[in-house]
Amino acid sequence: MKWVLAFIILAMAGVSEAAIKVVTSLPDLADLARQVGGDKVSVDYIVRADQNPHFVEVKPSYMMKLKSADLFLTIGMELEMWAPQIVDGSRNASLTVVDLSQGVTKLEVPAKVDASQGDVHRFGNPHYWLDPRNVRPMMDEIVSALTKVSPADEKTFRANADAYLLRLGVKIQGWEAMMKPFAGQKIVTFHKSWSYFANWLGLDIAGEVEPKPGIAPSPTHSAELIALVRSAGIKAILVEPFYDLSAPEQIARATGAKVTVLPTSSGGLDQTRDYISLIDYDVATLASSLKQ
Amino acid sequence: MPRSMLVLCCFCVVRILLPTTVVAQTSVNPDISVIPRFLIHSDDGQKLNEGKREFSRPDFSFEELELALQAYLNPFAKADVVLTLPGPDLENSKLGIEEVYATVLRGLPLDMNLRIGKYRAEFGKLNMTHPHAWPFVTAPLMQKRFLGESLNDLGISASVLLPTEDVYTKLTVDLLRGTAIGGATGMVDTTGAKPYYANTARLSSFFTLSDYSDLEIGLSGYTGIHDPYHRDRFWYGNLDFKYKIRPSAYTSLVIQGEYLLNTRTVHLEDEKSISSSGFYLYADYQFFKTYSIGARVDWSESPYSADDKASGFALFAGYYPVEETLGLRAQYARTTTELPGFTQSVNSIDLQILFSLGPHKAHPF
């Protein structure tokens, strides 16, 4: 009898641990899923913070992550061009792929899409998660997706999301206050990753180190950018950790601007363990560069 | 055809077609990509019969054009079509079917994938890779001698993932029409009889060694009738591995190799059994994202004689200035052919130019 009871207790413990299995493309989405799902979800992600999310090799190990997942949360807007191959390879017929961009106001939606424009995303710039105001529509999608898997927990998911958004709202006010003195300042970025971030903080992106999205820097373009940085008095060149620093550093040496390496995803540094600390780090680091 | 395979085939066809009664219309075109390859070639073997060793005038030729179409048929299946226009004679070349197959991706028992059509079979590692994605210009000697251009046949393939915890382990079994081996070994069936079915199988495991490095190991087998007149059977066993380390988006190192063992019965004056083998091993180092250099060593006997040997090495370099939409590959290769009482070496230099139109999908490992 004792063994039967022990088995039932263990089985019930097992049931309570049978969390909704969520896999996300980016670690930031994993953090948001954890915030909403709490102990009702187990969360994993695919792209490390030091990886370029545009270019991910299709590895069987990623397929294994999705094999038993309930939800796959993605940025969408064709950021994860590699995702369909991994989803297909997972052989998970019950997997639901969730595009978190549904409620986001898109920037830079191109009128024309062809390879002459570089790596242009036809649905617009997909780097919207770097504007924390977009977390609200993203969280709405996460709540909705989790609720479909576990309708009984809808209130918990909504309450968790609201509590997080409240905390985030306070942080947003702080970040905006910190960056208010720099409103209207021009910056240069390596890739078009920072359009939403700059739009939120009122910064003006005067140019990119890439001549076109996804196209490697060229000497001619760098020379034009050096002239631009000098004439506009630009102080910061924002670079993601996974890009080569040689072209930005060359421009910085010629102009006195500061190369500012800002992660676009959490988890790469001790100071960027989650989404809020990522934006904390990015805002503080950029403010420091612009102050010089 | 075995009854069980016939049932499997019917089930596969029904699975592909059934949902189309629901999805009546679609306005979405398939993904279309076009990849032409051109070649400038010179070697010093063309006048060896005259006792002269001199490099030939570089010959600029059209190597091949691949036209690939891919789309989902329905939520359960997708289809791939790869048409090929082989060179070098553009005027008389005809568009052929390299691959045309449908794959049922989901909805089957055991999470099985089923493929039906004409396709590159899962035998070894390189066989599944189209030549435009190779880091070198010419196929390894082992591949050429034992598989021809590729092991590409009409067939049905079933694959399942084995329950090996977090390690991705896949078992694929194919029933093939059996015509590919004729093309590989130059045997022509003059009997007019239908070919005998062939079978391949591959067991592969993928190991994540670190955040930056992975290893795949595969074991394959291939058997069929290579001489329909005498019903002589062949057996291939193949061991492959691929190791890749990518410490950054700009740098990577790939080391890949395969060893193939062949056993077959042949009727010459009398029936006898032949065993022969071959291998290749290459390393390809990518740096600054756009450049790559590498080397390959090759050794292979003939499928029909262990006395007919070929060995060689190749040095190759690649330049991909804009995300592999344009590629330039240069290769120097030295190939030595050995027969009893005869040895000949040929040096060759190739420059391959290719470009790619259409969607550029993520590379599989």
Q: pLDDT tens across A143-187, in order?
A: 999 999 999 999 999 999 999 999 999 999 999 999 999 999 999
Average predicted confidence (pLDDT) for chain A: 93
Mean pLDDT, range A132-140, rounded to an integer: 98
> Chain A partners of B106 at a C-beta cutoff of 8 Å?
88, 91-93
pLDDT at B358 over 70: yes
pLDDT at A34 over 70: yes
Any B CB within 8 A of A58 CB: yes
Average predicted confidence (pLDDT) for chain B: 90
- Across the interface, whether the CB atoms of A91 and B170 are under 8 A apart is answered no
Q: What is the value of ipTM here, to two decimals?
A: 0.87
- Quick: pLDDT tens for B92-151: 889 999 999 999 999 999 999 999 999 999 999 999 999 999 999 999 999 999 999 899
- The two domains A2-173 and A176-291 share their CATH topology (first three levels equal): yes
Residues contacting A281, CB < 8 A, separation 6+? A262, A263, A269, A271, A272
Looking at domain A176-291, what is its CATH homologous superfamily? Answer: Nitrogenase molybdenum iron protein domain (3.40.50.1980)
> Domain coordinates of chain B in residue numbers?
106-355
pLDDT attached to residue B8: 56
- Quick: pLDDT tens for B105-115: 999 999 999 99
pLDDT at B5 over 60: no
pLDDT at A6 over 60: no
Structure tokens of B167?
């390690």
Any B CB within 8 A of A115 CB: yes
At residue A12 the predicted structure's pLDDT band, cuts being 50, 70 and 90, is: very low
Contact present, A280 and A62 (Cβ < 8 Å) = no
pTM (two decimals): 0.90
At residue B254 the predicted structure's pLDDT band, cuts being 50, 70 and 90, is: very high
pLDDT attached to residue B11: 56
Which residue matches tokens 């093939």? B176
> Domain coordinates of chain A in residue numbers?
2-173, 176-291
CA distance B227 to B221: 18
H or E stretch covering B205: strand B198-208
CA of A209 vs chain B CAs: smallest distance (Å):
15
- Quick: pLDDT tens for A46-95: 999 999 999 999 999 999 999 999 999 999 999 999 999 999 999 999 99
- Please name the member of B322, B325, B362 whose beta carbon is closest to the beta carbon of A56: B362
- Domain covering B106-355: architecture: Beta Barrel (2.40)
CA distance B315 to B180: 30
The CATH number of A2-173 is which of 1.20.1260.10, 3.40.50.1980, 3.40.50.11540, 1.10.287.40? 3.40.50.1980
CA of A214 vs chain B CAs: smallest distance (Å):
8
H or E stretch covering B55: none
Contact present, A99 and A74 (Cβ < 8 Å) = yes
